[in-house]
Chains A and B, each alone.
Chain A
Amino acid sequence: MIDALSFFGVYPFRRVWPIDIEEVTNLLKKHGFKKIYIAYMLSLFYRDFYEANKEAEENFNKAKNLAINTILLPSINPDYMPLNKSFLKDLLENKFFQGYVTAPAYQGYKIDSLKTIRVFERLCEYDKRVIIIDLLEDIREMHRAYKMRHVITKESLKNFIDKIDRICERKILLTSFRYDLLKEVENKISEKEFFIDTSSDTLYGPQYDRIKELTESIGHDLIVLATKTPLTYPSVSIYRVLYSDISDSFKKDILERNILRFYGSYAH
């Protein structure tokens, strides 16, 4: 199996375990993962994501002998793009980074603003992947703690999908998105070929088999496994897929093949 998104480092809102990257990789190895994509948790909550990613890289590079193949995903907050053009170029042309995880929208950007869309399109032009987080701990309603901040709504998500250029087809992953939002825009998601993941608490799992419903509406080839470890118990996402009433071939696609398809041609 491959994990499309996991985390390491401290989570600012509650104690989670493990936080150490070696321990996260050991834990996921025990669950049968051979490769994971990982983001530094704190980097999602920085205003200056240049600083955040520097810290992420330092911590990532300190780790020795990781148990499984581990790929670092830096963060990006489209509302705080740097004015320094050389930095921006460096960010886009950095071969090391194959995808960028956005700060949760409640951290302060509008998904359908022109600025956000331009930033994401630039990343896509450079063949980067964009992993857009809706609500990290969705049902805990963290966004309610940020009264004046943005939340991704049905309308804003529709606008975003309509406006974004086709260059981003198959390069965007909507992660931890609420099921009701996904259902509202399912046609648009499959038309623009965005990927979605299994990590939202609102995807339930059998007996309410929402993975099966999404394979029927959005398509099994656009769904990927993401565990959100250590925020979430890894087996929660795995069991949602394993015990879903879909074929073994679809399960294999979701647990592994689609993640390779999403992250594309990068060899690691």
Chain B
Amino acid sequence: MSNISDLYKIKKIGMIDVHVHGFLNDHMNNMLLKYIKIFGIEKAFISIYPFDLGRIDPSHEDVLKGNIKIKELINREKSFRGMVYVNLLNSEDVDMAERFLREGFCGIGEIYRSVKPRPGLIKPYIDLVIEYDVPILIHVAHRLYPRSRPREASVYDLCRIAFKWPKAKIIVSHIAGGGDWENSIEILKRCDVSNIYIDTGGSVGDSGMIERLVREFRRENILFGSDNIFSTSIARIEDADVDEDIKIMIYRENPLKVFKCD
């Protein structure tokens, strides 16, 4: 076998990762930093890892603690940009979100599965992201078969939000996060609104996924994301049978257009 070092082929092109989580635990944060450097990720938009908050519907105090930790991380590391984590069920989280946006956070999310993002619940946050011209990243399950997670958002829910608020930039999280991604792409295609984006993160390595996204979805709305599963997320794009120009759009150009904050 040739030298192991000959097998590393990833080009360092200044990737912009729109879906990353920071942790309450600094050992995990150090690992995160290590991989950000190894893979040459220039900017990572980070929100607190939802499981670190103890429950899927954490209290306002826990949410605040998570966001303060993210603020500490972005102050420490120049490649990090902040995303405000919120629980749609906490009314106090709206003011908190505005405060963090004013302080330079670059978006809201990842809105996790405390409750389905029904228009009435998400409206205050949509008003904020429109006002501050930042995107909102929402956790989505690409499930075809029923599971025991009734609070999880579907692509349908996000299409409805994008349609209702055309000025809001809505990011569907991790197309490769599990489930039936082919079904999700079909729905996105039919949804046909220009303000819905998708991040390419997740652990699923199914071939053809990126090619199909590029072929059937708006290619300028595909954003590189990893959900911290860096090696798999980069491998998918590297192996995809699409032009290099399109890969650069996904890795860098599209995220820079969506996230205006420096």
Contact = CB atoms under 8 A, between A and B. Distances in A.
A207 B230 contact: yes
Given A15-B208, A232-B206, A235-B239, 19 more contacts: A1-B7, A17-B207, A17-B208, A17-B241, A140-B178, A140-B180, A141-B143, A141-B179, A204-B203, A204-B232, A207-B229, A208-B229, A232-B207, A233-B205, A233-B206, A235-B238, A236-B232, A239-B232, A256-B1
A126 interface: no
B236 interface: yes
A238 interface: yes
A116 to B, nearest CB: 26
Interface in A199-253: 201-209, 228-240, 242-243, 248, 251-252
B73 to A, nearest CB: 14
Given A239-B234, A248-B4, A256-B1, A232 B205 contact: yes
A85 to B, nearest CB: 41
8 contacts: A32-B2, A206-B230, A207-B229, A230-B207, A233-B239, A235-B239, A236-B236, A252-B1
A204 B207 contact: no
Nearest to B236: A233
Nearest to A202: B203
Given A248-B4, A256-B1, A229 B207 contact: yes
Interface in A55-75: none
Q: Which 4 A-B pairs have CB atoms at the shortest separation, nearest pair first?
A: A236-B205, A235-B235, A205-B231, A233-B239
A202 B179 CA distance: 12
Interface of A: 1, 14-17, 32, 137, 139-141, 144-145, 201-209, 228-240, 242-243, 248, 251-252, 255-256
Contacts of A32: 2, 6-7
Contact of A140 (B8, B38, B179, B240): B179
A242 B7 contact: yes
A234 B32 CA distance: 24
Nearest to A203: B203
Interface in B133-158: 143-145
B130 interface: no
Contacts of A248: 4
A229 B205 CA distance: 10
A237 B179 contact: no
B208 A243 contact: no
B207 A243 contact: no
Interface size class of B (residues with CB under 8 A): 35 or more
B186 to A, nearest CB: 12
Given A1-B1, A140-B179, A207-B32, A238 B235 contact: yes
B121 interface: no
A2 to B, nearest CB: 9
A137 B206 CA distance: 8
Contacts of A204: 203, 229, 232
Contacts of A144: 145
B45 to A, nearest CB: 15
B52 interface: no
A185 to B, nearest CB: 21
Nearest to B234: A239
Given A233-B236, A243-B230, A201 B203 contact: yes
B235 A206 contact: no
Contacts of A201: 178, 203-206
A141 B35 contact: no
A252 B35 CA distance: 21
A129 to B, nearest CB: 21
A160 to B, nearest CB: 26
Nearest to A210: B203
A233 B202 CA distance: 14
A209 to B, nearest CB: 8
Contacts of B205: 201, 228, 232-233, 236-237
A239 B235 contact: yes
Contacts of B241: 17
B19 to A, nearest CB: 13
B109 to A, nearest CB: 19
